[in-house]
Amino acid sequence: MPTPTFSALTTPVLVLASLLAFAANSVLCRLALAPGLIDPVSFTTLRIASGAAVLLVVLALRGAWRMPDFRLASSLALFLYAIAFSVAYVTLPTASGALLLFGSVQITMIGAGLIKGERPSTQAWLGILLAVGGLVWLLAPGVQAVPLLPASAMMLAGVAWACYSLLGARRGDPVLATTWNFVGAVPFALVASVMARSQFHVTPEGALWALISGGLTSGLGYVIWYRVLPVLRTTTAAALQVSVPVLAALAGVLLLGEPLAPRLVLAGVVVLGGIALVVRARARSA
Phi, psi dihedrals of residue 162, rounded to the nearest 5° = -60, -45
DSSP 8-state class, residue 70: -
What is the per-residue pLDDT for 142? 64
Chain center to CA of 109: 13
Q: What is the pLDDT, as a whole number, of residue 202?
A: 97
Backbone angles phi, psi at 38, to 5 degrees: -160, 150
d(CA 282, CA 250): 28
Determine the pLDDT at residue 143.
52
Rg (the chain; Cα; Å): 18
Q: How far apart are CA 38 and CA 203, in angstroms?
A: 6
Instruction: Please give the pLDDT value at position 211.
Output: 97
How many CA atoms lie within 13 Å of 132's alpha carbon, on the beta-carbon side? 11
Q: Rounded to a whole number, what is the distance in angstroms from the first to the last CA of the chain?
A: 26
pLDDT, residue 228, reads 84
Whole-angstrom Cα distance, residue 214 to residue 81?
13
Structure-derived torsion over alpha carbons of residues 6, 8, 10, 11, reported in degrees to the nearest 10: 80
Helix, strand, coil percentages for the chain (3-state, nearest 5): 80, 0, 20
Which positions of the chain have pLDDT values less than 50? 1-3, 6
Q: Distance between CA atoms of 248 and 136, rounded to whole angstroms?
A: 21
Domain boundaries, the chain: 10-285
Tens-digit pLDDT profile for residues 16-67: 899 999 999 999 999 999 999 999 999 999 999 999 999 999 988 887 777 6
Predicted confidence (pLDDT) per residue in 192-213, tens digit = 999 999 999 999 999 999 999 9
pLDDT of residue 119: 85
